[in-house]
Amino acid sequence: MNLTKLSKTELTGLCADLEKQYEGLKAHNHKLDMSRGKPSGEQLDLSNDLLTEPFSYRSENGTDSRNYGILEGLPETRKFFGDILGIEPDNIIIGGNASLSLEYDALMRMWVFGSKGSAPWSKLPKVKFICPVPGYDRHFTMLQELGIEMINVDLYEDGPDMDRVEELVKYDPLVKGMFCVPLYSNPTGSCYSEEKVRRLAAMNTAAEDFKIFWDNAYGIHHLYDEGEKLADIFALCREYGTEDRVFYFFSTSKITFAGAGVSLVAASEDMIKEIKGHMFCQTIGYDKVNQLRTLSFFNTHGGIREHMKRHAALLRPKFELVLDRFEKEFADSGILSWSRPKGGYFISVDTLKGCAKETVALCKGVGLTLTGAGAAFPYGKDPNDTNIRIAPSYPDMKELADALDVFCICCRLAAVRKLLEG
Amino acid sequence: MNLTKLSKTELTGLCADLEKQYEGLKAHNHKLDMSRGKPSGEQLDLSNDLLTEPFSYRSENGTDSRNYGILEGLPETRKFFGDILGIEPDNIIIGGNASLSLEYDALMRMWVFGSKGSAPWSKLPKVKFICPVPGYDRHFTMLQELGIEMINVDLYEDGPDMDRVEELVKYDPLVKGMFCVPLYSNPTGSCYSEEKVRRLAAMNTAAEDFKIFWDNAYGIHHLYDEGEKLADIFALCREYGTEDRVFYFFSTSKITFAGAGVSLVAASEDMIKEIKGHMFCQTIGYDKVNQLRTLSFFNTHGGIREHMKRHAALLRPKFELVLDRFEKEFADSGILSWSRPKGGYFISVDTLKGCAKETVALCKGVGLTLTGAGAAFPYGKDPNDTNIRIAPSYPDMKELADALDVFCICCRLAAVRKLLEG
Cross-chain residue pair B66–A44, CB shorter than 8 Å: yes
**Hey, of A104, A127, A257, which one would you mutate to test binding to chain B, going by the most B CBs within 10 A of its CB?**
A257
pLDDT in the model for residue A1: 86
Residue of A nearest to B147 (CA): A113
Pairing assessment for the beta strands B246-251 and B263-266 based on DSSP bridges = antiparallel
Within-domain flag for A369: yes
CATH, residue A194: 3.40.640.10
The reply to whether B363 and B253 lie within a common domain is no
pLDDT in the model for residue A86: 98
The reply to whether B12 and B62 lie within a common domain is no
- Give residue B379's domain range: 3-30+306-421
The reply to whether A144 and A248 lie within a common domain is yes
Residue A422 banded pLDDT, cuts 50, 70, 90: confident
Say if residue A9 is exposed, middle or buried (CB neighbours under 10 Å; 0-12, 13-18, 19+).
exposed
Q: Are A215 and A181 in contact (CB under 8 A)?
A: yes
Cross-chain residue pair A284–B100, CB shorter than 8 Å: yes
The reply to whether B311 and B362 lie within a common domain is yes
Residue B281 banded pLDDT, cuts 50, 70, 90: very high
pLDDT in the model for residue B1: 86
Q: Which of B68, B112, B293 sits opposite A112 (nearest CB)?
A: B112
Residue of B nearest to A49 (CA): B52
* Mean predicted confidence (pLDDT) in A326-332: 97
Q: How far is Cα B291 from Cα B26, in angstroms, rounded to an integer?
A: 47
Question: What is the SS3 string spanning A234-273?
Answer: HHHHHHHCCHHHEEEEEECCCCCCCCCCCEEEECCHHHHH
Q: What is the dihedral of CA A5, A6, A7, A10, to 10 degrees?
A: 180
The reply to whether A170 and A283 lie within a common domain is yes
Cα dihedral sign, B165-B166-B171-B176: positive
Within-domain flag for A42: no
Residue B277 banded pLDDT, cuts 50, 70, 90: very high
The reply to whether B318 and B224 lie within a common domain is no
**Amino acid (one-letter) located at B201:** A
Q: How far is B331 from chain A (nearest CA, A)?
A: 34
Q: How far is B378 from chain A (nearest CA, A)?
A: 14
CATH, residue A415: 3.90.1150.10
The reply to whether A298 and A369 lie within a common domain is no
User: Sheet of A211-215: strands edge to edge?
Assistant: A92-94, A263-266, A246-251, A211-215, A175-180, A128-133, A149-156, A159-160
Pairing assessment for the beta strands A128-133 and A175-180 based on DSSP bridges = parallel
- HSE of B312 in the Cβ direction (CA atoms, 13 Å)? 18
Cross-chain residue pair A284–B98, CB shorter than 8 Å: yes
Q: How far is Cα B116 from Cα B135, in angstroms, rounded to an integer?
A: 29
Residues of B in contact with A47 (CB under 8 A): 66
Q: What angle do CA B224, B228, B234 make, to 5 degrees?
A: 145
**Hey, of A122, A278, A281, which one would you mutate to test binding to chain B, going by the most B CBs within 10 A of its CB?**
A281
The reply to whether A281 and A174 lie within a common domain is yes
Within-domain flag for A92: yes
Helix (H, G, I), strand (E, B) or coil at B216: coil
R_g of chain A, CA atoms, integer Å: 23
Please identify, among A302, A332, A348, the residue that sits at the C-terminal boundary of a domain. A302
Q: How far is B142 from chain A (nearest CA, A)?
A: 5
pLDDT in the model for residue B226: 87
Helix (H, G, I), strand (E, B) or coil at B93: strand
Cross-chain residue pair A101–B54, CB shorter than 8 Å: no
The reply to whether A7 and A26 lie within a common domain is yes
The reply to whether A168 and A224 lie within a common domain is yes
The reply to whether A358 and A211 lie within a common domain is no
Residues of B in contact with A41 (CB under 8 A): 64
Integer CA distances (angstroms), B19 to A271, B5, B358, B364, in order: 47, 20, 14, 15
Residues of B in contact with A257 (CB under 8 A): 66-67, 289
Within-domain flag for B38: no
Cross-chain residue pair A51–B289, CB shorter than 8 Å: yes
Cross-chain residue pair A259–B51, CB shorter than 8 Å: no
The closest alpha carbon to A98, from A252, A245, A232, A207, belongs to A252
Average pLDDT, chain B: 97
pLDDT tens, position by position, B197-216: 999 999 999 999 999 999 99
Q: Name the domain count of chain B.
A: 2
Considering the entire predicted model, what is its pTM?
0.97
Integer CA distances (angstroms), B389 to B22, B132, B135, B187, B317, in order: 21, 15, 10, 6, 18
ipTM greater than 0.90, yes or no?
yes
CB atoms within 10 A of CB A118: 15
Q: How far is Cα A95 from Cα A99, in angstroms, rounded to an integer?
A: 7
Please identify, among B302, B333, B352, the residue that sits at the C-terminal boundary of a domain. B302
Q: How far is Cα A113 from Cα A109, in angstroms, rounded to an integer?
A: 5
Please identify, among B302, B318, B341, the residue that sits at the C-terminal boundary of a domain. B302
Residues of A in contact with B281 (CB under 8 A): 104, 138, 141-142, 145
The reply to whether A360 and A335 lie within a common domain is yes
